[in-house]
Structure formats: C-alpha cells, structure tokens
Structure 1
Amino acid sequence: MATCGEYIKSEFPSIDEDLYQYVEGILASGADDFEDSNELYDAIGEVLHEVAENKSEIEIRNICERLLGIMKPDKALPSGPAKVLSTPVHLGSMAASLETNVEEIKSIWVMSRDDALKVDAKKLEKAEARLQQKQEKRSQDLANSRAPVAPRLESATASQVTSKKEAKMEDKGSNRAQDIRIENFDVAYGNRVLLTAADLTLAFGRRYGLVGRNGLGKTTLLRMISSAQLRIPSHISVLHVEQEVVGDDTPALQSVLQCDTVRENLLQRERHLQSQINSGCSDPSLGTELSEVYVQLQNIEADRAPARASIILNGLGFSSEMQQRPTKQFSGGWRMRLALARALFSRPDLLLLDEPTNMLDVKAIIWLENYLQNWPTTLLVVSHDRHFLDTVPTDILHLHTQRIDSYRGNYENFEKTKAEKLKNQQREFEAQQQHRAHVQEFIDRFRYNANRASSVQSKIKMLEKLPELKAVEKEVEVVLKFPEADPLSPPILQLNEVSFSYEQGVTIFSGVNLGATLESRICIVGDNGAGKTTLLKIIMGLLTPTRGVRHAHRNLKFGYFSQHHVDQLDMSVSSVELLQAAHPGKPVEEYRRQLGSFGVTGDLALQTVASLSGGQKSRVAFAKMCMGAPNFLVLDEPTNHLDIESIEALGKAINKYTGGVVLVSHDERLIRMVCRELWVCGSGSVRSIEGGFDEYRRIVERELEVQAK
C-alpha cells in the first residue's frame, strides 16, 4: 500500500494531507472492493479532481487504472491499442443502399465490437453476490465490535463544507476576517442528528443569544466550536466557560491576572532583566531591552490590569478579602464564577457562555447584564433567563428542526417576529393549498375533454412548477404537572425567633419569625452565602436551629429539589430504573406515567440518564421528588438546566399545585410568575419585604451604584 501512496504523492505533490489520508484510507480497504478502474474512479476521482490543477478526466482515469494495477499486479489487464476504422465511411450513401450494404454496416457497428467488453451476466451475478456477502460480514463484525459490555456515552461529531477560497487564505495565513461564518455544517450526537446543512454567521462585535428547546444541541454546538470540530479562522481566539478553575494556592485575583499571558510574559521578562542588572551585569543591551519592555507594558496599560480584574471579581460577588484567598478554598460554584471572571478579563475574540446566570445570585446577574452590554468583541451565549436575553443580546439564534434561524433584536423582538413569520408562513401555505385544490378540480373535470387538452396540460405543468410549501410545525407544548396534595389544617409551618450558627461561631441569621401555609408561594432571594440553602434545611427539619423553635404539622411531607439534585442522579441507569430503585414495588406503567407528567416520554424514559440533556435530567429529578406524594415543595434553584418553555411550564405547574411552595431562585421571570411573598436573606437576618421583586431589584441596583462609586 506504500507503493500506492508514493504514486499518489508523485502525481499530486501538492495534495492536502487530510485528502491524502482520505484517499489512502479508501485504497487501504483492499483491491477486492473494486472490480475495475471505473469503480475506483467513482470512489476517489472527485477528490483527485479537487487537488489536480491541470489534469483532465482521461488522465485521472488512467491514474485510477494505474493504482488498480499496483493493487492487483497479477490481474492487471493490459490496455491494447485503440481500434480505428481503416478507411472513412460515408454513412449517407450506405443508408441509401441499405439492402445491399447490410453486411458492411454490420462489419462496422456490430462485428468490430470486442467481446471482452461485453458484460458477462453470470460473472456480474457472482460479483454482486460476493459484494453482498462481504457487506454482511462487515456489518456483523462492526456490530460485534460495538456490542456494549457496559453503558457508555455517545460522543458528538461534526462536519462542514469549507470553501476553496477560505481554505487557501487559511493556508497562506492571509485570512484576517473578524466575522465568523460556519456554512453547511452537520452536528450529530451518536445516531441522532442535531443539525443538518445549517449555517451560522457571527458578526464581530455583536452579542448573540442561542435559544431552543432542551436536548436540541445548544451546548453541543458550543463545544463543537470551542474544540475546533467546527472550523473557524485560526487567528480568532475562542474561550468557552465550561469548566471550573482548578483549586491551588494561587490567590483569586492573581488567577484572573494570569489570563493575560502577554502581560505576564512581559512582567516576567522585566523581573529577569532587573535581577541581571542588580547583580552587576554591565551589558548595555540589558538597559535598552528593559526600556522596550516598559514601553510595551505601558502600551497595554499593564498597571490598570489589577484594578480591572478586581472590578470584575467584585461584580461577581468576590469581596476584597475573598480576592486574596487561594482558589482551593472556594467551592465549585465560586470556582465557576472565577472561570467567568477570567474569561471576562481576557476578552477573547469569541466568548462562549453556557448558562452563565446559573451560578450567580440576582445582584451578580444584574451586574453581568450591565457589563456585557459593553462587550467589545463577539459573544455567543446560551441562556434561559428571559430578562437576561432581553437585556444583553443584539441578535437571537433560534435552534429548531435541525437548523438555526437568525433574528435581529432581543428575545422580546424575537418572539414577536417569529410569531408573525409563522403566521405568514401558515397563511401562504393555506392559500397555496386552496389554489392547488382549485386547479386540480379543473384538471379532474376536463382531463378527458379533447377541446380542453392544451389547457389541462398547461395547468398540470403549472402545478409541477409551484414551490412546495410546508405547513407550520407547531412545537409541542411543555407541560409539567405536580401531583395533588392532601389538605392539612393550619398551622402548617412556623419559625419563631429562629437563629442559626455554625460550630465556628459564625452566625448566619438570627431572630427569624416567619410562617407558611399550603397556599404559600414564597420566594427566597439574597446574595450567595447569605444563608438561603441553610434556611431551607431548617424549614425541612434537616438542620436544628441554634435558638428558637420550628413548628411543623405532623403530616407535613416535603419534596426537596436540591440545586445539586441533577448531579446526584445515577447516570448509568434509565429514568424508569432510577425511579424503581428509589421507590420499588410499583408497576412500570406508574413510573412511566410519573415521568410523563414531567415531559420524559417514549424512548427518553428508557435512555440512560447520562445521555439526557441538562433540562431532561431536571425533569427526571422532579419526577423522582414527586414519587413520595409531598404536600409541600422546597425548590432550590430549580431552573438551572431548564429551557425557557420549561421554566414557563414550571411556573404554571407551581401555580396549579395544591400544596405549599418555598422557592430559592434567581430567575426573574419565574419569581414574577409565582411569588406571593418575598423573603430576603442578608445582613444576618431574614425578612419579608413589601413591594415584591420590583422593590428588591431597586434595592440591589442602589447597592451596585454605591459599589461603583
């Protein structure tokens, strides 16, 4: 096979390495796959034409014949001399005397044909049978090699078409475009196609919000871009905030500053030169080089970098004291904030954010919204936060039915434009259907009328030329349904003069006097670390107050959705098996009915939990929580992995639920939908405030203004 490779290299010295590997891979499958050079030409001819600058089709076919000869040296057919007529033939005169010259015509058109070129039907049948057996054997071997011995995750794959012009510019290093165009690309996850023949254009300096239902591939698309499986110009820097910062002894502020590698390298060079000069080295070039380093540091405003990094950290909730702490002392949520701070500080050409508000409290979300409105480069963000999508993006990208549609404006404009677009599309479809029916009626009526034959034919041709319009596919409405709760007579839940302190003596809150009923829809807000989750655990009786008393109805049954609930699911089993393990002894139909109440239907219920999207895992967690028939729901950040439609459905489900609800959330849309009472954690206390979320937002914005000053 090395001989084939050498021959290809000699004929096409400028062939691209990827194309060469592709051609060699086809040839490596074996000579038995090709009966003749025509089959080999069908397999690789198009690729060879792409890389050949001045070779004709005949030359490419000759190369394919030569390759087949190398692969089948013992069966290579000698190509004999071409057969030509010995004298010119005048076909007109021969046709005039057809009866007398029949044998002569035969001698030209029939008798001269080489029998070797005729298809042997028996050989063809045998060849097809051999090919069929070979394909069946390969399929069987492939199936055996893929037989899973343990559940394993499918991986995502992507392919795209790159124009020759862009490829040449990339090779020459002359591509300096700031806009990003990914054209005609496909993305699949295992056997499931997520995107097909899709196009994505990101103009430099614009901010794009990527929206779509759970499980359609939004997060996968971001990973395909960041991992370079979808190619973009190589000079464009990409940063995807996906993994938390690794904990070590580096202070948080220094961890952010280290992202600016140019500044770090210059400072390191400055220290090295300074130490050489201080050690007595008299080389005059050191002073010159040190002066150049100082100029470069001044040009990039290196002295302002610590202040800029501190502002970003402060906005994301890091106090001055926290900024000096080693990163290893922070929890996973705070390390994710640190990863976001590093991304905002480094300012890549393309910043990819996946649900950035998940790890933030309301104050940090408001700060981030304001900060990103002045983002200088290109931003692509996946978010479920309606207010965030109304505030930050300049464009919305809608992922649906394996394609991406682009809309100018924020989410509110997108909803209006999309509704109008679908209405017009449906109107055009219905009008065309009526027109088709009217024309078809005319055709059916006069099909056999000789006088109308020409009219009927023109009508038939007109119908054939009409573009095929499709009816609007309505997205299935997301429905979540909590089970009916058993009624209880009050009092239900009461906290009297409750205080809580950890063993280290740190008081979280004190003097809390609050109560809840089965009609309660209480939302708890406050900064991260203010004690929201601690308060929930006291409400459920999982923590005992340091002081004060918690009163709860004896028949009160809590359903608890933890913010880490999704991460704690067994990923190796199906959703049905997960519910069976948690609540054994029930019919399978009951588990499936429970999952169906939260939108996990059909094959989804039988897939491994690991293969589900984040939003689908959340629905499984809801279904598991409700198997115990609770009459009071305690929900800690339930929207973290849900899409906009699912959050809307969650709000409706909470409002219809007949039990009580205490909710910790930063999602403004959900809070406004369900909140009847707002509890604010902060400054060592928990208080109920009048005016609802509007009043709380005003308080937060005033605090941010004070911080900015």
Structure 2
Amino acid sequence: MSSYDIAEAIRERLPGTEELFVQYLSGYLVDDAAEDEDALAVARHMLSSVCLGRANADSVLDSLMTRLTDLLSDLLSARATRTGAGAGKQKLQRLDRVLDMRATGAGMSATIAFAEGVDLESINKGKASRVDVKKLEKQEAKLRAKIEKRARRDLYEGSKLLKEQKNKQSYEEMFMKVNPLQSAADARNKSKDIHLPSIDVSFGSNRILSGASLTLAHGRRYGLIGRNGVGKSTLLRHIAMRDVPIPPHITILFVEQEIIGDETTALDSVLKADVWRDHLLKEEVALNARLAALEREEGDAERAAEDAKDEVSERLAEVHARLAEMDAASGPARAAALLAGLGFSESDQARQTKSFSGGWRMRLALARALFVKPALLLLDEPSNHIDLNALAWLEDYLQTWPGTLLVVSHDRAFLDAVATDIVHQHSGRLDYYKGNFTQFYSTKSERERNLRREYEAQIEYRKHLQAFIDRWRYNANRAAQAQSKIKILEKLPELTPPEAEDTETFRFPETEKIAPPLLQLSEVTFGYDAAKTILNRVNFDVGLDSRIAIVGSNGAGKSTLIKLLTGDLTPLAGQVNRNGRLRVGYFAQHHVETLIPTMNPVQFLASKFPGRTEQEYRSHLGNFQISGMTGLQPIGTLSGGQKSRVAFAVLSMLRPHVLLLDEPTNHLDLEGLDALMIALKEWNGGVIVISHDERFITTVARELWVCADGTVSKFRGDVQAYKNLIVNNIKARP
C-alpha cells in the first residue's frame, strides 16, 4: 500500500477533485493512520466537503471510505495492536497518590481528556479535589474540535494560495498597494539596503527557509541559484508581496508571468506599467480640465471659483513636481528604446498586446519592469523567454542597472555577465558569495575541499585517540593517560560530515552507424505562402558527427528549420534527403504540452513504448534522474525540470541517430544542465541545438550557424563574438 494507491482511489471515485487536495490527503493517511485514531474520521470530514453537490454523495463517500479502510488495514491493525498493549499495561498501573493537576500541567490535562467515563468525583471521595473542572471542560472541548482543526490546517494553506492566484488584484491595484507613492526626496534620505537577520518562508506546510539571513546591498546584482524545487521562486514572491518585512520606502517589482493580452499597444503597455506616472498624468489632465472650467465662471460664481482655482492650481503644481521628479516627459522615448532592445520593431510597438505570442508577452513584461526602474527588481529565469540576440542586449543593459537586482537563473554565462554576488539557496538557508558565478563556483569548491580535509583530519584524530584508549585503558601504568584521552574524546563536538556534492548523470543509448547522407536540405525554400518566404535556398547537412548550434532572433526561422529537418513541414522548393533508416529525436521548445499531466512517467513511457515491464521503464527513467516515487507521481505535479527529464527519457527510448533540441535548457537546474552537456558530449549521434545558453552552446557545439535574413549560414567566430556583434549593432542604431 502506498500514497499512490490512495490517491488513485480518490481520483477514481471523485473525479475532478483538486490535485493538491488528493496529494495532501493521501500523504496524510499514509503518515498518520498508524498513529492517529482520528485519521479516517478526519479524512471523511474532508471528503464530505468535496462530495457536496455530487449525485449519490453519501453512497459514493461510503464506498470510498470502505476502500480507504481496506487499503489502510495493515496500518490500522498495527495501531490497534499497540494501543491494545498499552491498555493492558494501563490496567496494571496503580494510583497511590493524588495528582496535583496544576503541577502536572498541560501534558497531564491532555491525557485526562481522553479518559471518558471516569468518575473523578468517586476517585477523589474523602479527599480534597485539586482538579480544575473548567480547565478540564475546555480540554474536552478542544478534543471535540480536533477534527475541524485538522481539516483546516496545511491542506488549505495551499488552496488559499490558489484562491489568491485566481482572485488576484489587478496589476495597478497590486502595484499601488505594494509600492505606495512617495516623494523622491523622502526616498533619497533613507537607506535602500536590505538586511533581515532571520526570516522564515513557507509554502503551505513546506518550510522553504528557516531563520535565514536576507542581505541585499543597494546597487548590487545578486544571482539566486539552487536546485529545482528548493523554493527560489517562492522566496521571490514573498519578497514581492512584502510577506518578508522589506522596508516600505523600497519599491519592488517582480517579473514572473506574461502580461494579459488586450487592445493596448505594446508601447502603451510599457508606459502604463509605471502606475504612479500613469495615475499622475491622468490627474494632470483632469486638473487642467477643471481649471479651464473654473476660468469660464462669471459673476458671483466667479468669486466663489477663485478659492477652488487656488486649490486646483496648488494640487496641479504638486503633480507637476512629482512628474518632473520621475522624468515623466522622457517616458515614451525610454519605453521605445527598451522595446527595441528586446527585439520589438517600430511596427511591433504599435501592435496590440493580444496579438503577441506568450514568449513575446514575457518580453513585454520584462520591458515594463525595466521601464519602472524599481529600487529592487526581481527576475525569475528571464533568459528562458528570449533569444540570444535579446539576451545579449539584456546582459549589457543590466550591467548598468542603478538599483538592486535579484535574479533566479540557471544560465551561467548570464550570471557571469550580470551578477556581482551569488546567493546559494539550500538546506533552508541562504549562503552569500562575492563575485559572479565562475568566482562562486571556484570559492565554493575550495570551501568544500577545505571542509572535507578538516572533516577527514578530525576523523583521523578521533581514530588516533580511540586507538590509544583501546590499547592502554586496562594497563595500570597507562590507565591515567587513557582516562585523559577519554575525557578529550568526550568533549569533542559532534562531527557533521560535509554536505555531499550535488551531481546528476544523464545517459543516451549508443546508436548504430548508418551510411551517409543522413539528413540533407538542398536549396530548400519555405514559406506559408509563395508571396512571403521565411527561408530561401537553404543548404544544410546533418551527420552522426554533427554538433551544430543555431542562433538568431525570434521569428528568423530557427524552429521552421528544425521542423523541415523533422519532416513536419514540406518545402516550397528544393529537396530534403533522408536516410530510410534514420530515427530522429525532437525536443520541442514547449515539450511539456506533449506530456499527459494525469499520467505518471512510468505510465506515459508505457503508453508510448508498450511491451516492457514496469521495472524496465523505471530503470530507463533513472537514466535521467527520475527515480523512486517520482516515477509514480502524476506528471502534472512535477517541476519544470523534472518534466524536461521525462521528455529526455522519452526521446532516448527512440534510440535516435540524431537529436534536434529546441531550447532544451530552459527548465533544467545547474546540475541537470551539467548532466545533459556531459551526456551529449559522450553520445555518438548527431546533435542540432537551438539555444540561448552560451555555456551550453560552447560545451556541446563545434559549429555555430546564424539564422537571419531568410537564410542559414555558418558563423566564423564563437558565441561571445556573436553577442558582441549584436550589442554593437543595437547601440549603432539611430
């Protein structure tokens, strides 16, 4: 019996139940059924609320509880055995003195609360009762409320967060609430450094940080790193909502989700992001209109209007001063420059936001944040949503960011270019390192080596002491020395081994050799109509030894090229030559959409490649670090990095000759990225990759091809040279 069996029983009888509820309840029953006599009662109470409004609710609930009781029979039997033995022992106990309830405290009160049917009055007859009856009644009331309390605890912590997400305030309301308007003079007089010596951060019942120190010096750029699932994004959300006590004069903006598309143009969307600027400009228009109306007043009304005019003029002067402080007049020019840097042409800037894809809306969200220029800017994986061209511009732009930056990223080259400090989140704490990622890695490695050496030296010292004690403790001449060594050994602090280094391994199965040509594009032209071609007369050759990275701006045709290679698209002209035995593994940029969220990884592999045992599927998933119970969790509950690992496991089951990878690094943490790079370097098949990750490209690829101006051509230089070219071209624009 496992939590998976219980979860399946709930899903089967109550389809459509919130997955968070199912996961919590199944885990609770497995953990608590053996210890808590109320576990099934608590479960029934929770499930009854889910059954409300369903047909045959009572019979469905009864059937489900019967099934849960059967599944938990072993745990319930074990509890009954223990409680029965405990009851037997209790009969042999003898109370030979009166207990002072005030002295025994809450622990004894809780024990007596369970003693139903005990006649306290007869027990204490002839003696002065020391039981506080009111306290006892309160304790009994607490017991009766136990089920309700259980039902309201951790499970609905997570549900509360989901409700807040669904019913969240508008961007404008949230911005004004989190960042109240203040004068520039007031803000200048206050420190924008953040130092919180002890913060706790939780998501539901999961403690993310405990007593951690949050220290962010104004003007520094911090890269926040850590394993998938450690809670980096949760920490950013808590900071953004001031759930940790960030000083109120420090403005905060968090770029997490793409903007909601509507009729607003891209340029206006960026301008409206600075809510107070937009609010004051609207107020300025209203005040000017009011002033013009008062100017037209005549006669008696004119005299009455004078006072109102003075009041309006005074407020208008305040508004003008505030707008001047925030340099409102330069807003359109600044917004246009930001959008241009992120790849929006002049015509794109005039398009409605609803016409853009999700990736471009994420760029808009990024442009809006950069336009606002908050004192503390929070970015969550900004490089996931932009191409190498925009990434090169963003790196260059952020290097002169005037405020404090806290960015979550797994892109080492991005962190090397942008970060002045690294924050390592792990084991419920935050560790700080000066310098960029390369310096962090060097410092951390040296620190770990020193800790390992110190630990090993301590082990040897203790072994030496113990050997002396074992040899001489029973020798009369050396007994005193042995006793001295024993005291030294006893006083030594408890020795904690250094944390094991996080490593992962991926493995692609070796592929058999097939004769060239494997895959060729000869003079291929493609467009969705003959009038407008995307790629024109492209020549491209793929072999088993190919290690090619394709770069270029979004919309230039990179993904189109990949789809021509996979055969998903047919060219308008030219020829595609493919070896008849060729197997191609395609990792799409939006691979998560191809996974079925209700299936677990084992079931998904079995649906794609039937005929093998469960152990074979689990063993194969283990090649990509999907092991243990993770292989039996619904895919919908896995993190982005875990879903990527499942997608790679599916690809490798094809035993491909060539891998076509479109942004494969987006969701992988640093350890997963290292594992993927090593696996691809060791693999004997061909690799074509579209990526914005400089280190990944440099490690995996031997050739760099640029997709631009309707064609694909080999670039004579490395990734850094290409990025420098992009930045220089952007800066050279008028």
Identity percentage over the alignment? 47
Matched position secondary structure for 2:273:
coil
User: How big is the shift at 1:459?
Assistant: 3.4
> Does 2:253 correspond to 1:239?
yes
Question: CA offset at residue 116 of structure 1?
Answer: 4.2
Alignment partner, residue 218 of structure 1: 232
Q: Aligned-pair distance for 1:355?
A: 0.7
2:660 to 604, 627, 634: 634
Match of 1:269 in 2: 283
Q: Which amino acid aligns with 2:685?
A: G
Name the counterpart of 1:421: 447
Q: Match for 2:267 among 228, 253, 258?
A: 253
> What letter matches 1:212 in structure 2?
G
Kept after mapping to 2: 8 A contact 1:156/1:190:
no
Contact 1:215 1:616 in 2 (8 A): no
Question: C-alpha distance in 1, partners of 2:324/2:269?
Answer: 22
1:143-177 deviations in whole A, cap 9, x for unaligned?
999999xx9999899xxxxxxxxxxxxxxx99965
The CA distance in 2 between the partners of 1:366 and 1:153, in whole Å, is 39
Letter matched to residue 222 of structure 1: L
Aligned equivalents of 1:548, 1:599: Cα separation in 2: 42
Residues 262 and 354 in structure 2, CA contact (< 8 A), matched pair in contact too: yes
Q: Is this contact kept in 2: 1:494–1:552, CA < 8 A? A: yes
Deviation for aligned residue 1:376: 1.8
Give runs of aligned pairs for residues 325-344 of structure 1, distance below 5 A: 325-344=351-370
Aligned equivalent of 1:595, options 621, 638, 650:
621
> Is 2:502–2:671's contact at 8 Å kept on the other side of the alignment?
no
Structure 2 equivalent of residue 651 of structure 1: 677
Shift of 1:134: 9.5
Which one of the candidate residues 323, 347, 355 is aligned to 2:381? 355
Distance 1:212 1:249 in 2: 39
1:94 matched residue in structure 2: none
Residue 507 of structure 1 aligns to a residue whose secondary structure is coil
- 1:27-426 mapped onto 2 (5 Å cutoff): 116=128, 142=150, 178-188=192-202, 193-279=207-293, 280-282=295-297, 283=306, 284-285=309-310, 286-426=312-452
Correspondence for 1:24: none
Note the alpha carbon deviations across 1:54-86, whole angstroms, 9 max, x for none: xxxxxxxxxxxxxx9xxxxxx999xxxxxxxxx
State the SS of the aligned residue for 1:200.
strand
How far residue 506 of structure 1 moved from its aligned partner, in angstroms, is: 2.6
The one-letter amino acid paired with 2:406 is L
For 1:474, which of 478, 495, 500 is the aligned residue?
Answer: 500
Q: Distance between the aligned counterparts of 1:508 and 1:363, measured in 2?
A: 18
Structure 1 stretches lacking a partner, 5+ long: 1-34, 45-67, 69-74, 78-113, 158-172
Task: Report the alpha carbon displacement of residue 501 of structure 1 after superposing the two structures with TM.
Answer: 1.4
1:454 Cα deviation after fit:
5.5
- Match of 1:579, SS state, is helix
> Which digits, 9 at most, give the CA deviation of each residue in 1:483-511, with x for residues without a partner?
22232111111111111112383321201
SS of the aligned residue for 1:519 comes to coil
After superposition, residues 525-540 of structure 1 pair within 5 angstroms as 525-540=551-566
Paired residues, what number?
A: 585
For normalisation by structure 1, the TM-score amounts to 0.75
Q: CA deviation at 1:598?
A: 0.8
SS of 2:447's equivalent in the other structure is: helix
Cα displacement (A) at 1:36: 5.0
Q: Are residues 1:615 and 2:641 paired? A: yes
> CA offset at residue 643 of structure 1?
1.4
How has the CA–CA distance of structure 1 residues 156 and 380 changed in structure 2, closer, same or farther, with 3 Å as cutoff? farther
CA distance in 2, matches of 1:153, 1:213: 26
Q: Could you list the runs of 5+ residues in structure 2 that have no partner in the other structure?
A: 1-99, 114-118, 165-185, 298-305
Find the counterpart in structure 1 of residue 491 from structure 2: 465
Secondary structure, counterpart of 1:648 in structure 2: helix
* 1:563-599 Cα shifts (integer Å, max 9, x gaps): 1112442223322122222323321112112211111
C-alpha displacement of 1:607: 2.0
Q: Is the 2:586–2:659 Cα contact (8 Å) retained in structure 1?
A: yes
In structure 2, relative to structure 1, the CA distance for the partners of 1:182 and 1:584 (3 Å cut) is: farther
The verdict on how the C-alpha distance between 1:190 and 1:591 changes in structure 2, with shifts beyond 3 A counting, is farther
Contact 2:396 2:727 in 1 (8 A): no
Q: Relative to 1, partners in 2 of residues 1:587 and 1:250: Cα closer, same or farther, differing over 3 Å?
A: same
Would you say the 8 A contact 1:156–1:187 is kept in 2? no
- The whole-number CA distance in structure 2 between the counterparts of 1:205 and 1:598 is 40
User: Any idea what SS the aligned residue of 2:534 has?
Assistant: strand
The 1:140/1:559 distance shift into structure 2, 3 A limit, reads farther
After superposition, the C-alpha distances for 1:70-109 in whole angstroms (9 at most, x for unaligned) are xxxxx999xxxxxxxxxxxxxxxxxxxxxxxxxxxxxxxx
In the alignment, the residues of structure 2 paired with residue 185 and residue 274 of structure 1 have an alpha-carbon distance, to the nearest angstrom, of 48
Secondary structure at the aligned position of 2:262 is classed as coil
